[in-house]
Amino acid sequence: MIPTFRHGVKTKGRKEYTENMPFEEYPVGDFVYIPLLQHIGKPATPLVIVGDKVKCGTKIGEADGFISANVHSSVSGEVTGIVDLPCATGLPTTHIVIKNDYKYEEDFLSPIQNPTKDEVLERCKEAGIVGMGGATFPTIVKLMPKTPIKALIINGCECEPYITVDYRLMLEKAAEVLSGIDLVKRALGVNKVYFGIESNKPEAIIKLRDISTDDEIEFCELKTKYPQGGEKQLISAITKEKVPKGGLPSDLGYVVFNVSTVYALYEAVYLGQPLIYRHMTVSGNGVKRAANLRVRIGVQLSDIVEYLGIEENVVKVVLGGPMMGVSLHNFKSTITKGSSSLLLLAEKEIREIEPTPCINCGRCAKACPMFLMPMVTDRAILHGDIEGANNSYAMSCIECGCCAYVCPARRPLVQSQRLAKKLIRKNKLTPA
Ligand code: SF4
Ligand code: SF4
C-alpha cells in the first residue's frame, strides 16, 4: 500500500492544465514593485532612496532581525518611489518601485564551489531565501535548529490542485534540486534524506532516482491526497511519527524543505543569485493560455494577466492554491517570494453556495488531518464562546481547508478557525 497520513481529502487535481508546460521566462515590463515584507516576520529596512541606480541582485532591503529576510532588486534601473501599496492580503506594505532600464546588469554575490556549513548559512541569509512552499518563513532559521536533527525531509508533494511548479522543477532542474539538497545536508550536518513525492508524479520520481548518486536519499512515493505536503502529514506518512500538539518537526529531529526552496539555495550558492525570481503556475479555466512562468519578483499581477489573457467567465481569482490561497478582488498586488500560483477560476470550478445550518453529519471531522472537530469550533464562534473554541483545539488547525471542502452545508469552517485563533490570542488564553 502506498504510504500516506490519516484523514484528508481527494481533490480534483487539475494538474493536466500545466503539468506538461515547461517554464517560460516572463518578459518583465517598465516597472517592478518590490515589497519589503515578503516573509513571516519583520519587514526589511529600505537601503535605497529615490534616484538610486540598482542592478539585478542589488540588496534594496536589509533583514530587520533574525526573523526577517533581505530583499533584492529583480531588474536593473532606477528607484523611482518608496510607497505603501496593498499586498495580496490587502494590508499596506512598503514597496520599492524600480524603473527597468532593460539592461539586466547583474550585481550578484560570488558563486561558491564546495561551500562549508558556515558559507551555506551565510549565503542563505544574504540571498534572502525563505520557505517557498507557502510559509515564507526565513530559511536561515530552519537551518539553525535548536535540537539535534536526524533527517532532512524534502517536500515534493505539491498537493494543492492546479500548481505544477515543483513538479516542473523536479523534471527540468533535477540535478540542481539534488545539489540544493546536498547544501541543506551540509548546513544541518545530517546524512539521511527522505524525499516525499506524490504518486501522481511518476516521471519526477523516475528522473530524480535515475540521476541521484546519493545513497542516503530515500525517494518515498506517497499517496496522492490533500494535504500530503503539510509538514505534519508528510512526516506522519514517511516516518509514522506524530509531531506533538503545538510542537515542531524539529522536536522529532526532522527539518522539512520544499523543492523550490532547495532550488533557490542552489542558485544562491552556486550561481551567486539572490532570490529575485519566482517560478509560478498560472492556471484555471479563466486564463486564455495557462502556463508555468519564471517571473521576476515585483511584477504586477495585472501584467501577467494581460500577457496570458483573461476569459470573460472568471468569477474568482486566487493567489496560491485553491485550498489555502488568498482570494483577490483586483490584480494590483505583485509577485513575491511566496507566489506559487495565480488562478483565474470560472464558475464551473468553484462552488459558491450560501452557507446553511450544520446538519451534524460529521464529514468535516472525518476529513480533518489534525483530528479536530471543526463543527464544534464553528458553533462556539457563532455563540461568541471563545473558551469553547479554545477547548476545541482551534490553535492546532493548519487552515488546510479540508473541512470546508467536504461540508455539505458549505459552512465557512476555515474562517471560523481563523477567527477562533485570533480571539484566543487576543484574550491571551492558554492554547488547549
Ligand atoms: S479544522 Fe483546520 S486542520 Fe482541520 S480540516 Fe479544517 S482547516 Fe484543516
Ligand atoms: S461537515 Fe458541515 S454540516 Fe457536516 S458536521 Fe461538519 S459543519 Fe456540520
The closest residue, in CA terms, to atom 7 on ligand 1 is 399
379 in contact with ligand 2, CB cutoff 6 A:
no
Q: Which ligand 2 atom lies nearest to the CA of residue 360?
A: 5
Low pLDDT (below 70) residues in the chain = none
Please count the other Cβ atoms lying within 10 Å of the Cβ belonging to residue 288: 11
Residues paired with residue 343 on neighbouring β-strands, in sequence order: 283, 318
**What ligand is nearest to the CA atom of residue 403?**
1
402 in contact with ligand 2, CB cutoff 6 A:
no
Pick from 226, 249, 230, 418: nearest CA to 322: 226
- Dist CA 331 CA 287 (whole Å): 13
Q: Which residues line ligand 1 (CB under 6 A)?
A: 367-368, 370, 372, 374, 397-403, 413-414, 417
Q: How far is the CA of 333 from the centre of ligand 1 (A)?
A: 27
The closest residue, in CA terms, to atom 1 on ligand 2 is 407
- Dist CA 94 CA 260 (whole Å): 25
Pick from 198, 204, 149, 160: nearest CA to 178: 204
All domains of the chain in start order, with CATH: 26-108+274-348 (no CATH), 110-271 (3.40.50.11540), 363-426 (no CATH)
Q: How far is the CA of 127 from the centre of ligand 1 (A)?
A: 34
The helix-helix angle for 202-211 and 165-172 (nearest 10°) equals 30
* Displacement of CA 35 from its chain's centroid (Å): 17
The closest residue, in CA terms, to atom 4 on ligand 1 is 368
SS (H, E, C) the chain: CCCCCCCCECCCCCHHHCCCCCEEECCCCCEEEEECCCCCCCCCEECCCCCCEECECCEEEECCCCCCCCEECCCCEEEEEEEEEECCCCCEEEEEEEEECCCCCECCCCCCCCCCHHHHHHHHHHCCCECCCCCCCEHHHHCCCCCCCCEEEEEECCCCCCCCHHHHHHHHCHHHHHHHHHHHHHHHCCCEEEEEEECCCHHHHHHHHHHCCCCCEEEEEECCCECCCCHHHHHHHHHCCCCCCCCCHHHHCEEEEEHHHHHHHHHHHHHCCCCCEEEEEEECCCECCCEEEEEECCCEHHHHHHHHCECCCEEEEEECCCCCCEEECCCCCECCCCCCEEEEEEHHHCCCCCCCCCCCCCHHHHHCCCCCCHHHHHHHHHCCCHHHHHHCCHHHCCCCCHHHHHCCCCCCHHHHHHHHHHHHHHCCCCCC
- Dist CA 381 CA 251 (whole Å): 31
Q: In residues, how long is the chain?
A: 432
- pTM greater than 0.75: yes
Q: 74: Cβ–Cβ under 8 A, 6 or more apart, which residues? A: 28, 32, 34, 56, 98, 276, 277, 296, 297, 298, 299
Taking CA 423 as the corner, what is the angle to CA 419 and CA 429, rounded to the nearest 5 degrees?
A: 135
The pick from 9, 360, 416 for probing ligand 2's pocket by mutation, whose C-beta has the most ligand atoms within 8 angstroms, reads 360
Instruction: Using CB atoms within 10 Å of the CB of residue 289, give its burial: 0 to 12 exposed, 13 to 18 middle, 19+ buried.
Output: exposed
Q: Which ligand 1 atom lies nearest to the CA of residue 401?
A: 7
Q: Which ligand 1 atom lies nearest to the CA of residue 404?
A: 6
367 in contact with ligand 2, CB cutoff 6 A:
no
The pick from 323, 366, 375, 402 for probing ligand 1's pocket by mutation, whose C-beta has the most ligand atoms within 8 angstroms, reads 402
What b/e sequence results for 30-57 when a residue is b if at least 16 CB atoms lie within 10 Å of its CB, and e otherwise? Answer: ebbbbbbbbbbbebbebbbeeebebbbb
Task: Supply the pLDDT for residue 85.
Answer: 92
The closest residue, in CA terms, to atom 1 on ligand 1 is 374
Q: How far is the CA of 375 from the centre of ligand 2 (A)?
A: 6
Q: Which ligand 1 atom lies nearest to the CA of residue 399?
A: 7
Q: Which ligand 2 atom lies nearest to the CA of residue 361?
A: 4
Task: Supply the pLDDT for residue 86.
Answer: 86
The closest residue, in CA terms, to atom 3 on ligand 1 is 397
